[in-house]
Amino acid sequence: MFNRGPNDVVFLQAVRYAREKMPRGKVRMLYVDAAGKVYASAVGRSVYELARDNAARMARSHKSFATVGLESAPGRFIPTTVEIGPDEVWALEHILEHALKNGRLPDILKKYVRPIISLVEADREAVVAATSKSRRETRPVVRPRVLDRLPYYPERDIEISMPIYKAEYSYPLIVLKGLPRDEQTPANLGRLLVLDADGDIAIVKVPSRLFRSLEKGLSGMEGKSRRPACALISQQADSLAVSYMTVSQPQKKSLETLTRYFEETGGGKQSISSTARAVIVRARESTAARAIR
């Protein structure tokens, strides 16, 4: 027990249980260890932010990468990125799919995890030493439990499916486009591409009834005002609210540009134009005014 080696892991995605409220300064991270076991445990926000920043740098360089968590102490990790090839990219996509679906990996995927982790073993001591000096110390977390499954959100909630590292998103959500259902989407949910109030692009799953009503409501708003419009999703005390807001032609085009960027690159990060920022500001003001009323 005292001579065990470090339990390094591959970070998969920041996640959240239904109705879960994480302690301040904590983020729940989904990851897999070298044996192919899936966990979801709380890590310090500084760990999450370092993983996110590392991922953003790799994304800007257009390199395929994995985020490896180097265990510096039991239950404490230092994230670092490593460049990977097409086979590992394919494996990670399917590993994330199975981890989110039922928390278990088939044997055919387990074999990819250890080689990915081994890519950083040569630099392990240097990475741990350098990062330990500069990062803020975080408290040890409880040893993670095996994740049997991530429950779907109740119908009035949204299930997060982030294409980028992000533990939380900011309301209101500006709906960019409805996406077709995939085989991982239950029949009672629909998929939307959205821009959140921080300027980040995300894919969210919403109740089917809300999904179906958006197009009808948006069409009605545009027909009535004879101007382009966008749909907004805001958060109330225990539910979600949908509203609509007219936009100018340049603002509509700026949102369409973000949509095309995501469709072409699959990425959630890019520079947000001042025109798109103006839409975000108006969306915040619009939903705030509605909340007061």
Q: Which whole-number Å values give the CA distances from 195 to 39, 81, 124, 248, in the listed order?
A: 29, 26, 37, 17
Q: 219-231 pLDDT, tens per residue?
A: 888 888 889 999 9
How do residues 191-214 score in pLDDT, each as one tens digit? 888 888 888 888 888 888 888 888
Q: Does pLDDT of 14 surpass 90?
A: no
Number of residues in the chain? 293
C-alpha to C-alpha distance for 131 and 80, rounded to whole angstroms: 10
The stretch 272-279 carries a mean pLDDT of 85
* 39, two tokens: 């966990």
Say if residue 159's pLDDT is above 50.
no
pLDDT of the residue at 132:
56
Average pLDDT score, the chain = 77
Confidence (pLDDT) at 137: 43
Tokens of 232: 């907004």
- Span 16-40, average pLDDT: 83
**Domain ranges (residues) in the chain:** 9-134, 159-292
pLDDT at 53: 81
pTM: 0.48
Determine contact, residues 171/233, Cβ cutoff 8 Å.
yes
CB contact at 8 A, 152 and 18: yes
Q: Using CA atoms, how far apart are residues 86 and 68, in angstroms rounded to an integer?
A: 17
Please, which pLDDT band fits residue 113 given cuts at 50, 70 and 90? Answer: very high
Given the DSSP bridges, would you call strands 173-179 and 189-195 parallel, antiparallel or unpaired?
antiparallel
Rounded to whole angstroms, the Cα distance separating 204 from 225 reads 28
The pLDDT > 70 percentage for the chain reads 77
- At residue 151, does pLDDT exceed 50? no
Reduced to 3 states (helix: H, G, I; strand: E, B; else coil), residue 27 is strand
Using the predicted structure, report yes or no on whether residue 289 has a pLDDT greater than 80.
no
pLDDT score at 11:
92
